[in-house]
């Protein structure tokens, strides 16, 4: 039997970024580690802030042939020349996003810890589902996406799945056989050396 493929890395930006520093930090990470996709996940709802950040990040990702999606803002995707959108409301906006952006755009959706929401989002036309957080965090309501949801998904559903939120090396080792992507964000950006932090986090992948 063939060895299962290693999960790919899906980078998530911090909620706030300094344009004078972050693009260079992102470039170093992308040059050090193969990454499938970057999600621009800013907390700002200021259009100008989002557009300037997207322009700066897109310059880095395009040069390295890495896909770039934006969190939530469907209408900014085409305007900013991005590859797609990451939705945060399970299946609710998937059909709208697909209709707006067309068949070629990436449409992904965060479904928390709900298998049902994941299946509904998949049926609505998502390209991938993300579940999380997979680790314990004081944020949110304390619910964790357990190993079994990924195990079940990998056995029953063909749609790619992302494991994200409060990852550590132990969780990477445990989830590697049952997830397609690891969504990595604050785990590395809160470090002074994101490249080294990512290397440590992914050490179990060999």
Query: Looking at 3-7, 52-56, 117-121, which range is the least confident one?
Result: 3-7
Give the strand pairing for 37-40 and 8-12: parallel
Q: How confident is the model at residue 86 (pLDDT cuts 50, 70, 90)?
A: very high
Facing residues of 110 across strands? 130
Q: Average pLDDT for residues 72-85, to the nearest whole number? A: 97
Task: Tell me what pLDDT residue 4 has.
Answer: 58
Q: Are 117 and 91 in contact (CB under 8 A)?
A: yes
pLDDT one-digit tens code per residue, 89-101: 999 999 999 999 9
- Give 81-104 as a DSSP string: T-SEEEESSTTTTHHHHHHHH-TT
Token pair 């049902």: residue: 116
Residue 188 lies in a domain: yes
Task: Tell me what pLDDT residue 1 has.
Answer: 39
Count CB atoms within 10 A of the CB of residue 80. Answer: 18
Q: Check pLDDT > 90 for residue 78.
A: yes
Take residue 198 and report the two structure tokens written for it.
């990512």
174, with CB counted inside 10 A (0-12, 13-18, 19+), is middle
Q: Check pLDDT > 90 for residue 5.
A: no
Q: Are 147 and 153 in contact (CB under 8 A)?
A: no
pLDDT one-digit tens code per residue, 107-128: 999 999 999 999 999 999 999 9
Helix (H), strand (E) at residue 76:
helix 76-79
Residue 41 lies in a domain: yes
Q: How confident is the model at residue 88 (pLDDT cuts 50, 70, 90)?
A: very high
Total domain count, the chain: 1
Q: How far is it, in rounded angstroms, from Cα 60 to Cα 74? A: 21
Take residue 72 and report the two structure tokens written for it.
């939530």
Residue 3 lies in a domain: no
Q: Average pLDDT for residues 71-83, to the nearest whole number? A: 97
Residue 95 lies in a domain: yes
Residue 142 lies in a domain: yes
- Residue 24: give its domain's CATH number: 3.20.20.70
Query: Looking at 16-30, 128-142, 143-157, which range is the least confident one?
Result: 128-142
Residue 196 lies in a domain: yes
Structural domain for 93, as ranges = 8-205
Say how many CA atoms lie within 13 Å of 100 toward its Cβ. Answer: 17
Q: How confident is the model at residue 2 (pLDDT cuts 50, 70, 90)?
A: very low
């Amino acid at each position: 039997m063939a060895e299962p493929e290693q999960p790919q890395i899906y980078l998530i930006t911090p909620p706030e970024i300094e344009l004078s520093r972050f693009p260079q930090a992102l470039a170093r990470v992308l040059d050090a580690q193969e990454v499938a996709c970057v999600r621009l996940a800013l907390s700002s709802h200021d259009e100008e802030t989002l557009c300037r950040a997207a322009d700066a990040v897109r310059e880095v990702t395009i040069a390295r042939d890495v896909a770039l999606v934006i969190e939530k803002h469907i209408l900014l995707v085409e305007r900013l020349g991005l590859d797609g959108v990451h939705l945060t409301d399970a299946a609710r906006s998937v059909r709208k996003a697909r209709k707006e952006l067309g068949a070629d755009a990436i449409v992904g959706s965060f479904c928390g810890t709900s298998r049902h929401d994941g299946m509904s989002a998949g049926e609505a036309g998502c390209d991938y589902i993300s579940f999380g957080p997979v680790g314990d965090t004081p944020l949110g309501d304390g619910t964790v996406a357990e190993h079994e949801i990924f195990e079940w998904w990998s056995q029953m559903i063909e749609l790619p799945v992302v494991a994200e939120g409060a990852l550590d090396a132990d969780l990477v080792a445990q989830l590697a056989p049952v997830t397609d992507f690891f969504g990595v964000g604050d785990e590395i950006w809160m470090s002074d050396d994101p490249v080294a932090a990512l290397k440590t986090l992914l050490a179990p992948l060999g």
